[in-house]
Amino acid sequence: MNCRNVQRKLSAYIDGELTGAEMMAIRSHLSRCPECAREERSIRAFKRLLGAMPCVEPPSGLEERLLGAIRREHKQSASWWPQIKWASVAACAAGLAMFAILTFVKRPGGEAVAADTAEFTVFDATRDQAYVAGSDPLSFGPLALPTGDENR
Amino acid sequence: MKTAKVCSVTILCVLAATPLYASAEPGWQNRRQNPRYLLLQSMTTAKRYPISAVVIQRLAHVNDAEVEMKMEQDVFGRTRFTVWQPAHLSGLVSLDDGIYWYTYMPKHKRVIKQESPRIAQGNPAYQIYLANENYTWRREKGPDIASCPTVVVVASPKAKELPTRRYYLDSRTCLMLQVERVSSDGTKKVSYETRSLAYLKESPKLPVPGENDPEIQTRVVPTPERVGSPASASERVGFMPIVPETLPFGFIVRSIEIVGPPKDMLIAIRITDGLVTETVYQWKDSTSKRRGPFGSKAGTVAFKGIRMRLVGELPSGPAERILKSFVSRK
């Protein structure tokens, strides 16, 4: 499986929606390819961020207002120009949204991998164990707290 | 006449709905009383309550050192801990926003930034599923903790050598308030407890420590890197990690990771039984001239040129048996 195929299926891979063979193939590819592994971490981080966003209650009467606006729009759309206008606005908005998402998605993984490893010269088991604790809320309790003198 | 008709229709509706309600009620109650469901809630929805608390954590990986902290959590699940005690750690701040994990050390005027460990967190439902293979469950009424009524989820291991785990949850919100381990000889260790707790009306603001202070340096630390197989790890670290096909007590390999600085990389094999996560570190024995990454060979075993050590919270007996399963592999 090449990088292009893997990156196309990364979202489904993270959501566990692929077949076992595909999951294995992607997992194996990720272990070899730092670029795709970075992409996977970015998407995972982004999904987590999206999942953490609260549900926003729509204001009362929104549905009525929306339907009313659509009805009015429908009546006025005898000419083709407004349709093109709305399509271009929607396309611009979608483009901007995609740009914002891609910019955001690139950030976390990129920075994490670009850690200043030159300065990182000592293995800190305490920090690593705190990291494990933070990834498993039932193992040590719900807290990750390093106490080592961090990477002198 | 019309009123009588409306009344009769209403009565009929109520009569029709009563059996439906009655049949639905026990199912709903059973779910709320299922210990596994409660524990799952504590790992998911309870992580979104805005709270401020004073908690004590005893760190198993630092000889059960006791740390008293203020804990804050917002509706996004971001958590911030500010250490009060012991004195040498006072002022240390740990903020995990789900993307990054920041640790501010006031003595060094430094922030350590690392990818959030929550990104590496597995699926909570699978974790409970795995734990269900290795533990039996009980639900008990608990004492009030920090003025909150509690329910205790007791997970008794099928392997008697392992400790029983008791999770005290707020019975209204499933927020975890206390965690205890009771070993097979009856010794009890409280690894986490809540001294006081306030549910907040508004989500607290949890700024990144040292964000706008030019005097504070930020250092990014690399995240443990997951690899897909021992073979792919060997290409990076220069030796083939030892991964047994089966582990005792129902443990499974959760991940194989590369940790440590680029010049002295180690393998960290994370193993779990659902409720406990342990790490078996492995490194080339020949690189241990400087007494190895732990500063001492105590507690380590060597096999086929690889030295390894198990780190975690398991008692010494089960820990030794798990480590033996790594060296007795044919």
Mutating which of A49, A57, A139 best tests the B interface, going by the most B Cβ atoms within 10 A?
A139
For B77-131, the pLDDT digits (tens) are 899 999 998 888 889 999 999 889 999 988 888 999 999 998 888 888 889 999 9
Whether A31 sits inside 8 A of B108 (CB atoms) is no
Domain identity same for B35 and B125: yes
DSSP string, B149-204: EEEEEEEEESSTTSPEEEEEEETTT--EEEEEEE-TTS-EEEEEEEEEEEE-SSPP
Whether A123 sits inside 8 A of B270 (CB atoms) is no
- Distance of alpha carbon B103 from alpha carbon B272, whole angstroms: 26
**What are the boundaries of each domain within chain A?**
3-52
- Chain B residue with the nearest C-alpha to that of A150: B112
The answer to whether residue B98 sits within a structural domain is: yes
Whether A31 sits inside 8 A of B268 (CB atoms) is no
Domain final residue pick, B191, B218, B245? B218
Is A123 near chain B, with CB under 8 Å?
yes
CATH number of the domain that B205 lies in?
Answer: 2.50.20.10
The answer to whether residue B6 sits within a structural domain is: no
Whether B112 sits inside 8 A of A53 (CB atoms) is no
Domain identity same for B72 and B174: yes
Amino acid at B5: K
Asked if the peptide bond before residue B86 counts as cis, ω within 30 degrees of 0, the response is yes
The nearest CA of chain B is from the CA of A104 a distance in Å of 12
CA nearest neighbour of B102 among A18, A13, A127, A120: A127
Distances (CA, A) of B302 to B72, B134, B299: 43, 29, 10
Domain identity same for B203 and B289: no
Q: Where is average pLDDT lowest: B13-27, B196-210, B257-271?
A: B13-27
Domain identity same for B58 and B203: yes
Domain identity same for B163 and B288: no
Q: Which residues of A touch B281 (CB under 8 A)?
A: 125
Tell me the pLDDT of chain A (152 aa) as tens digits: 788 888 888 888 887 777 777 787 888 888 888 888 888 888 888 777 777 666 666 677 777 777 788 777 766 654 545 555 555 556 656 655 554 444 444 333 333 333 344 455 677 777 888 888 888 878 655 555 665 544 44
- pLDDT cut 70: percent of chain B above it: 87
The answer to whether residue B227 sits within a structural domain is: yes
The answer to whether residue B23 sits within a structural domain is: no
Q: What's the pLDDT at B39?
A: 93
Is A45 near chain B, with CB under 8 Å?
yes
Q: What's the pLDDT at A22?
A: 79
- Chain B residue with the nearest C-alpha to that of A38: B225
Domain identity same for B313 and B285: yes
Q: Which tokens sit at B83?
A: 């250490």
Confidence of residue B15 (pLDDT cuts 50, 70, 90): low
The answer to whether residue B13 sits within a structural domain is: no
Is A132 near chain B, with CB under 8 Å?
yes
- In b/e form, how buried is each residue of B256-286, taking b as 16+ CB within 10 angstroms? bbbbbbeebbbbbbbbbbbbbbbbbbbbbbe
Q: What's the pLDDT at B10?
A: 62
Domain identity same for B91 and B199: yes
The answer to whether residue B11 sits within a structural domain is: no
Domain identity same for B116 and B204: yes
Q: Which residues of A touch B260 (CB under 8 A)?
A: 123
Whether A138 sits inside 8 A of B43 (CB atoms) is yes
Q: What's the pLDDT at B209?
A: 86
Domain identity same for B95 and B231: no
- Tell me the residues of chain A between 74 and 93 that have a Cβ less than 8 Å away from chain B: none
What is the total count of domains within chain B?
2
Q: What's the pLDDT at A89?
A: 56
- In terms of Cβ atoms closer than 10 Å to its own Cβ (0-12, 13-18, 19+), residue B187 is exposed
The nearest CA of chain A is from the CA of B22 a distance in Å of 31
Is A125 near chain B, with CB under 8 Å?
yes
Confidence of residue B26 (pLDDT cuts 50, 70, 90): very low
Domain final residue pick, B200, B218, B236? B218
Are B35 and B41 a contacting pair, CB within 8 Å? no
The nearest CA of chain A is from the CA of B197 a distance in Å of 15
Domain final residue pick, B184, B218, B252? B218
Domain identity same for B185 and B82: yes
CA nearest neighbour of A7 among A140, A102, A146: A102
Domain identity same for B250 and B129: no
Q: What's the pLDDT at A118?
A: 42
- In terms of Cβ atoms closer than 10 Å to its own Cβ (0-12, 13-18, 19+), residue B293 is buried
Q: What's the pLDDT at B21?
A: 47
For B34-86, the pLDDT digits (tens) are 999 999 999 888 888 999 999 998 876 667 778 999 999 999 889 999 999 88
The answer to whether residue B271 sits within a structural domain is: yes
Is A151 near chain B, with CB under 8 Å?
yes
Q: Which residues of A touch B225 (CB under 8 A)?
A: 37
Domain range holding B52?
30-218
In the predicted model, is pLDDT for residue B27 greater than 70? no
Q: Which residues of B touch A131 (CB under 8 A)?
A: 101, 114, 117, 120, 223-224
Q: Which residues of B touch A54 (CB under 8 A)?
A: 75-76
Average pLDDT, integer, range B137-157: 96
- Distance of alpha carbon A40 from alpha carbon A34, whole angstroms: 10
For B273-325, the pLDDT digits (tens) are 999 999 999 998 875 456 677 777 777 888 888 999 998 888 889 999 999 99
- In terms of Cβ atoms closer than 10 Å to its own Cβ (0-12, 13-18, 19+), residue A41 is buried
Domain identity same for B203 and B238: no
**A/B interface, count of CB pairs below 8 Å:** 191
